Structures are given as structure tokens and as C-alpha cells.
Amino acid sequence: MDNTEKIIIQKEETNGLATAAMVLGIIGIILGVIPFIGWFTLPLWLLAIIFGFIGMRNPVKKGFAITGIILGTLTFVYKIGFWIVLILSSAASGY
């Protein structure tokens, strides 16, 4: 009688792009609020948005992908809004 055991190792499903989107979104928003320096993190915002949309194709960790998209978009809107307010306020003051 052959006494063999089968060991089945089940690997947890991951979504690396969704995780990367969330991490890049967090780093982008933290560094993005620093005036003038925040623009150097533009690639982080764009990659967070792109990786988020690609990561949403996989149902695993879909919330991470959505978080990356939201944080990347919020940072982008914040930086554009910052410059619009700065330009409008300088135009209103006459300088």
C-alpha cells in the first residue's frame, strides 16, 4: 500500500497594479500639497490613475484601484485649482 500525501499550497490572489495605484496615489497627494515642489510628482499622479484603471480589470483588491484613481485625480485637480486661484488672485490685485 502506497502511503503518499498530497500537499496543496494555495496562493493568495493579488493585484499588484491596484496596490501600486494606491501607494502612488498616497505618495502623490502627500507630496502634491507642497507648493511648487508638488509638480515634480506629476508622474506619480498619472501612474496612479493609469494603474488604477488597469487594476480595476481584476476583481481582487478593486478598492485599492479605485482609491488610486481618486487620489491621483484629487491631487491633479488640487494642483490645477491652486494655480487658477493664484492667477485669479494676482489678476484681481493688479500685479
Counts for the chain of helices (H) and strands (E), in that order: 3, 0
CA-closest candidate to residue 71, choices 28, 34, 16, 31: 28
Helix (H, G, I), strand (E, B) or coil at 37: coil
C-alpha dihedral, 73 to 79 to 81 to 85, nearest 10°: 170
pTM of the model: 0.79
C-alpha–C-alpha distance, residues 6 and 52, integer Å: 38
34-62 tens-digit pLDDT: 877 777 888 999 999 999 999 999 988 89
